A and B are shown apart, each in its own frame.
Chain A
Amino acid sequence: MINVLADFGRAGIRAVGGLGRASVLLTAMLAGLWELIRRPRLLLEQVYSVGTLTMIIIAVSGLFVGMALALQGFYILSQFGAEATLGVMVAAALVRELGPVLTALLFAGRAGSALTAEIGLMKATEQLAGLEMMAVNPVRRVLTPRLFAGVLALPLLAALFSALGVLGGWYVGVGLLGVDDGTFWAQMQAKVDWYEDIINGLIKSLAFGFACTWIAVYQGYDCVPTSEGVSRATTRTVVHSALAVLGLNVMLTALMFGN
């Protein structure tokens, strides 16, 4: 019993210590923002790496999710004679929830894990120490551009996910199941609200992008610099990011849409 309590206490101390280190690292990364503004090329390179290279998986997933959503939605809505609202249902579900959340989960698996592995390997192969000895701050040169690239890329990827999801839903609803084309778009245009749906979805994406990228760069920077250490850190990035995204989503949804 005492051992269980001791293990629990140790895990708690480790978690609090990790949170403290992550916060210190975040402060150091934010302090590098001015340098990043002066050298936007560093940011653009990372936006390409974490954003552009993630586009394919996001686009394909968005299309498939939209198609599945339209199939399921049509089945349920047709029972109430409300197939005409299929467009609204697909768009609102994508823009409010599925777009930001699924994009963030895919981003954590594709770009987040790659960021952790890259930074972890840079640590293991002494590249970060090498930068320090060349009088280059590794946090500002390596981590800050990656953090802001993730924050910038995720909303754009979520928008792509939602847009292709809507197109997938339209193809299934209008093209295959016979929903009226004009009704599909008109209902969507009338009911999807710019602030309530789209801006709130964008805010969620920004929050998820920040959380996922912060976790990814912290895990890479804090990992044990061995192959096993990098491997464990990569796994932690995906698990912690998924939990953070789902937890944040509940909180943000309650704040945005709860009465």
Chain B
Amino acid sequence: MIFDGVDMDIPRGKVTAIMGPSGSGKTTLLKLIGGQLRPDAGTIEVDGQDVHALSTAELYRLRMRMGMLFQSGALLTDLSVFDNVAFPLREHTTLTESMIRKLVLLKLEAVGLRGARELMPAELSGGMARRVALARAVALDPMMIMYDEPFTGQDPISMGVLVKLIRQLNDAARLTSIMVSHDVAEAGSIADWVCILSGGKIIDRGCPDDLVKGGSDWTQQFLKGLPDGPVPFHYQAAPLVEDLLGQSA
């Protein structure tokens, strides 16, 4: 079982950070919200619609109002930056090419990569690829956007750019943002609301400042990166002396 009795409301128009250690099911939660995975029990509602009770056509219509930024960027490698951002517009709208061009250039301008529109994904750095993926994710002006570990593997400059972009896009386009991350400082700096997951349960939730000041011991250890605490430094094992004097491996 990955989740047990998780009950969570994502506030509309806010940036919600879902944090937790690796393997705590954060990405799985995003896939459940996006309808890519089906829960064995329980319901997930997006904008009042039960995601897993929808028909395929209804689910696809709902997804047109959702954006998702994958950890890898998930850019289509045979298309240029421009064509990647234009892709959802060409698939789902009947806009003319000149209109699509203007929209794509505006989206790329928002992420600072208008000048890179002719490049192929293989020519982009990791940070640039995620910015292009972000431009693509907001191409259809979705109501909500999900970020899967947006800061992982980024250099400080790219990370700063992404932090700023996520916050700006959320406020400018009145989005609802759900950000899965274990980068405490970055996620905490832009999140309005934080949920901490571990062992399939919600350990703590609240404003970032409140959690830093008054969260549980577990939350304190996680947010401050303490090596020992409720999550022990040592993996469960027999006493050291017993191990050293023993014969077996």
* Residues on A with beta carbons closer than 8 Å to the beta carbon of B76: 127, 130
Selected contact of B92 from candidates A126, A135, A137, CB within 8 Å: A135
- Whether the Cβ atoms of B60 and A133 lie closer than 8 Å is no
Q: Is B163 an interface residue (CB 8 A)?
A: no
* Residues on A with beta carbons closer than 8 Å to the beta carbon of B71: 126
- In the bound assembly, the distance between CA atoms of A121 and B75 in angstroms comes to 12
Fill in one digit per residue for B150-184: 1 if any A CB lies within 8 Å of its CB, else 0.
Answer: 00000000000000000000000000000000000
Q: Is A52 an interface residue (CB 8 A)?
A: no
- Whether the Cβ atoms of B68 and A130 lie closer than 8 Å is yes
- Number of A interface residues in the complex (CB < 8 A): 14
* Residues on B with beta carbons closer than 8 Å to the beta carbon of A126: 70-72, 74
**Given known A-B contacts A132-B36, A134-B91, A127 and B77 have beta carbons under 8 A apart:** yes
* Residues on A with beta carbons closer than 8 Å to the beta carbon of B77: 121-122, 125, 127
* Residues on A with beta carbons closer than 8 Å to the beta carbon of B61: 135
Q: Which residue of B lies closest to A121 (CB)?
A: B77
Q: Is A33 an interface residue (CB 8 A)?
A: no
Chain A binding surface, main DSSP class: helix
**Given known A-B contacts A134-B91, A135-B92, A136-B91, A129 and B74 have beta carbons under 8 A apart:** yes
- In the bound assembly, the distance between CA atoms of A165 and B34 in angstroms comes to 54
For residue A124, give the distance in angstroms from its CB to the closest CB of chain B. 9
Selected contact of A133 from candidates B36, B72, B87, CB within 8 Å: B36
For residue A255, give the distance in angstroms from its CB to the closest CB of chain B. 39
- In the bound assembly, the distance between CA atoms of A135 and B194 in angstroms comes to 28
Q: Total number of A-B contacts with CB less than 8 angstroms?
A: 48
Selected contact of A135 from candidates B64, B70, B74, B136, CB within 8 Å: B64
For residue B32, give the distance in angstroms from its CB to the closest CB of chain A. 13
- In the bound assembly, the distance between CA atoms of A127 and B71 in angstroms comes to 11
For residue A120, give the distance in angstroms from its CB to the closest CB of chain B. 13
- In the bound assembly, the distance between CA atoms of A132 and B68 in angstroms comes to 10
- Whether the Cβ atoms of A133 and B92 lie closer than 8 Å is no
- Whether the Cβ atoms of A125 and B72 lie closer than 8 Å is yes
- In the bound assembly, the distance between CA atoms of A227 and B76 in angstroms comes to 18
Selected contact of B87 from candidates A125, A129, A134, A137, CB within 8 Å: A134
- Number of B interface residues in the complex (CB < 8 A): 21
Residues of chain B from 121 to 153 with CB closer than 8 A to chain A in the complex: 136
- In the bound assembly, the distance between CA atoms of A125 and B75 in angstroms comes to 8
Residues of chain A from 96 to 152 with CB closer than 8 A to chain B in the complex: 121-122, 125-127, 129-130, 132-137, 141
**Given known A-B contacts A134-B91, A136-B91, A129 and B63 have beta carbons under 8 A apart:** no
For residue A138, give the distance in angstroms from its CB to the closest CB of chain B. 11
Q: Which residue of B lies closest to A128 (CB)?
A: B74
- Whether the Cβ atoms of B88 and A134 lie closer than 8 Å is yes
Q: Is B66 an interface residue (CB 8 A)?
A: yes
* Residues on B with beta carbons closer than 8 Å to the beta carbon of A121: 77
- Whether the Cβ atoms of A130 and B64 lie closer than 8 Å is no
- In the bound assembly, the distance between CA atoms of A121 and B92 in angstroms comes to 25
- Whether the Cβ atoms of A130 and B70 lie closer than 8 Å is yes
For residue A23, give the distance in angstroms from its CB to the closest CB of chain B. 19
- Whether the Cβ atoms of B63 and A134 lie closer than 8 Å is yes
- In the bound assembly, the distance between CA atoms of A121 and B88 in angstroms comes to 21
For residue A28, give the distance in angstroms from its CB to the closest CB of chain B. 11
Residues of chain A from 200 to 236 with CB closer than 8 A to chain B in the complex: none
Residues of chain B from 74 to 128 with CB closer than 8 A to chain A in the complex: 74-77, 87-88, 91-92
For residue B217, give the distance in angstroms from its CB to the closest CB of chain A. 36
* Residues on B with beta carbons closer than 8 Å to the beta carbon of A141: 91
- In the bound assembly, the distance between CA atoms of A135 and B35 in angstroms comes to 11
The residue among A130, A132, A141 with the most chain B CB atoms within 10 A of its own CB is A130
| Among all A-B residue pairs, the 4 with the closest Cβ atoms | A130-B74, A135-B63, A126-B74, A135-B60
Residues of B within 8 A of A (CB): 34, 36, 60-61, 63-64, 66-68, 70-72, 74-77, 87-88, 91-92, 136
Write 7 A-B pairs (CB below 8 A) sorted by A numbering: A125-B72, A130-B70, A130-B75, A132-B63, A133-B66, A135-B63, A141-B91
Residues of A within 8 A of B (CB): 121-122, 125-127, 129-130, 132-137, 141
Given contacts A129-B70, A132-B36, A136-B88, 8 further A-B pairs with CB under 8 A are A121-B77, A127-B74, A132-B63, A133-B36, A133-B63, A134-B91, A135-B61, A137-B60
